[in-house]
Each structure stands twice: as C-alpha cells, then as structure tokens.
Amino acid sequence: MSTSFKRRAHLYGSVAPILYVAMSLAVTGPVAAAPVCQGPTGTPAPTQTTCLTAVQIPGNPLRSFDISWVNPDRAEYYLGDRSNAGIDIIDTQTLKFKRTIGGFVGIVLNKAGTAVDNNHSGPDGVVSHGRWLYGGDGNSTLKVIDLNSSPPIKASISTGGTTRVDEMALTTDGKLLIAANNAEDPPFATLLHANGDSPTNMMSNASIIKKITVDPLIIPPGFGLSIEQPAWDPKTKRFYTSIPTIANNPPGCNYGQLLGDVTCEGGLLVTDPMNPKAVEGAFDPNTNTGVVKLHDCGPNGATLGPNDNLMLGCTPQNIPSNTTTLVINAKTKNYANIGNITGSDEVWYNKGDHRYYLGASRNCTTPGTPCGNVPAKATPALGVVDGTSVLIETIPQSRSSHSVAADSKRNRIFVPQVAPTSVVGSGGDDTGVGAAICGSNSGCVAVYQHNTGDDGNEDENH
C-alpha cells in the first residue's frame, strides 16, 4: 500500500449505525532482547492499548515496509519487508523473530537515487490462509508460499503489469483471492484461484481467473489513479476494494485533470467473485456490484467489522480535505464518519477484542482540521476504534508507521516502525518516536496488547 500516486507529485466522533525459486533466509547470530517499548515519554496515559515489547528484525535497518498480516491459528505475524527483500515472520505467542522468506525485489530507488520507488519495490501486500502465504512483489508478480515446505516459494504468477502487486484479500475458505495492481495506469485487480486448505499438495494450484478494470468514466486513465485494499464479506459474498479517487464525485470535481488540490472523493468497488466482470461500472443495487460513491473519504485501507460494517482508511494523502474515517455497511451502504482520526493506510478489525486498529501515518495534528498531503502537519498514530465506531485513543508512532495487524486469539497488535532518517535517509523516521519505541536505531515491530477481560468473544462475521 503506502500509496504514491504519480499524479500527486505536485500536491502535498460519530457512531456508525450500522518461483518459482526463492530462499528462506534463516538469520543466524544473536538478536537483541526485546525492550519494553515506551515511546518518547512513555505510553500516553490513560491508554487501554499498552505497548508490550519491540521485536527486532535482523538484517538491514527498516527503511521501507508495507502490508502486514496475522494468522492466529499458526500464531504468526507476516510483514512485507522491502528493506530485507522478504516477508518477516514473528511468533505471536513468544514474540520472537522466526525467519525472513526471501526472493522479492526489495527496495528499488527512484531514478535520482534519493528515495524509495514504492511502485516497483517489494514485497508489498501479504495475506495468508493455513499453510499458504501470498505476497505481492514489485515486478507485478504474486508469490505463492508454502510455509511448511522448503524452498517455500512454489509459484510466481505474473499479473501482466509492470508495477507492484499490492493489497490482497482472500475468501474465508482461502480458495479465491483478489489482488490490486494499484500503481498501473489504469489500475486493475486480478481475481485468482487460491490454494484453500490443500494440506498435502506440495505444488500450487493458484491461477488467474480474470483481470478486472473499472469503467474509464469512473477511473480515467492517464492521471495515476489507483485502487487499494480489498476486504471479503462472507455474508454478502463480495469483495470490497477501496478506490482513493473517482471522477465526478461530486460532479465537476478535480481528480487530477486540473491544477490544484484533488477534490473528487473516493469509491468502493464491489466484486462478485462468482460472476466477475472484466470492466466494472457504476454500482448496481440489483446485483450488489460496481463502484459505490463515497462521501468525505479517499480511502486506502478496508477491513470488515461487526454487522457487515466496513471501515475504510480515508486519508488526506489522497483527498487533502479529508479529516475523518468512514464506516459503511456492506448491505445497506449506510455510512457514518468517525471524527478525530484520519490518514490511515492499512486498517484491521480484531474480532478478539471487537476493535478496529488503524495505521494512521497521516493523522492530522489538529483533529478536525485538514492537513492536506503534507506529512509535517500530521502526527503518525495507531488509532483504536471500538466495534460501535467510537474512537477510543490514538497512540504516537514513527513517521511511516502505516501498517497494522492483530492476533485475534491473543489480542496483540503489531505495528512496524521505520529506522531514523539519520540511519536510512529518505523515508526514515524524523520524529524520534520510533527509536524510543524500538530501543534501537534499526526499526522494529512494536507489539501492543489490549486486555479484554470477559469481552473477547468471537465476532459473527468471522
């Protein structure tokens, strides 16, 4: 994710009712003991979400990473770590680093060599089901990984583009997968057969079903528009994919065809995987497919919460006027805005404690006041929102802390931190928060805990 649109190079509380061949890098040598993470002045008080520890990642300091994922049944956390050209795995029970699965392109710099080119770096999106892990790479390939096998990468599937395979989502049974090529112009999604449970097949049966684009009247080509994180709803049996900006929402708005700030709001692409369309158009309530127009939201992240409510990670990085987060019901399309939190990339609903967690790296410093696409006006935070869509708290994080995932069985929340700018240069943390959380200058994965007491029941959607 971490959207970096070509066209944007010039830009800077309410309750919802509602491989082929690759290698597994076994890192040897001592790993520093995990410190208790405190932040620059300790975890803000009072907080219900407390920082337990910081897990150090061996190898290169963390300069660039993307999406993360947790498989609670395997007690494993996965991070798309571009700095070490692989997917890092942490044991969510012992909170120990396990290994990095290599074979990805890693960090690719821009032509000037001054900054990370997110559109061509990898890994990016990650998602898992059972023994199977899927990782998007910067060369438009989907890596299919068998976590119980060596070598682990069983297939590298080209989606036909030239830029990264980014966000992904799986059906509950792990048999269908949708992946977004967010940096293509025009962007597209790919629907694939995935491996489901297949416990004994040492080969991968993953294959492409259909490439999906959006009507050019909705996503006009040539302006670097994008599609982002998808989520699966087992009740409606639809994939829901965030679209940061769509044309004519509202009529006459600027989606990049004019000078000045983008003023067009985003959309939500609804896909029926049993009847996929090569080109999706405007939303059709009869089929519950197509692009839903959103209000006050240019989303990156998407996650399914209770009662078919989808939380979308609206961000001023996409629409400079955005100051809130949106929750929309997958069935009714009724929506509500959550005040005082914005700027999210990845968002995650944890069914173990009935809370949403937001990687709000672009959260506005002054709540409710637009901060535009200007990082200096934002305070990176871990946002915590309860299942009724009430903002509980925001907890300071490092500058590029846009990724978050939670273990629903242990109610542990994992938030990677970049290393300081003084160590990694462009893309590093300039706040001092990350180094204080990590207890080092190499970056880390901070682990938070929410103690639920007796309220940690499973959610019906999952």
Supply the mean pLDDT for the chain. 89
pLDDT > 70 fraction of the chain, expressed in percent and rounded: 87
Mean pLDDT is lowest, of 205-209, 261-265, 371-375, 383-387, for: 371-375
- For residue 374, what pLDDT is reported? 84
pLDDT higher than 50, residue 41: no
- For residue 202, what pLDDT is reported? 67
The residue extents of the domains of the chain are: 6-26+63-411
Whether residue 416 has a cis bond before it, omega within 30° of 0: no
Rounding to the nearest 10 degrees, give the CA dihedral for residues 366, 371, 375, 378: 20
Mean pLDDT is lowest, of 45-59, 75-89, 347-361, for: 45-59
**Stretch 263-278: mean pLDDT:** 98
| pTM for this prediction | 0.90
pLDDT higher than 60, residue 454: no
pLDDT higher than 60, residue 459: no
pLDDT higher than 90, residue 6: no
Q: Which CATH superfamily is domain 6-26+63-411 in?
A: YVTN repeat-like/Quinoprotein amine dehydrogenase (2.130.10.10)
The 10 Å CB-count burial string (b at 16+, else e) for 371-399 is bbbebebbbbbbbbbebebebbebbbbbb
**How many angstroms separate the CA atoms of 280 and 261, rounded?**
27
**Stretch 351-375: mean pLDDT:** 92
- For residue 453, what pLDDT is reported? 58
- For residue 462, what pLDDT is reported? 41
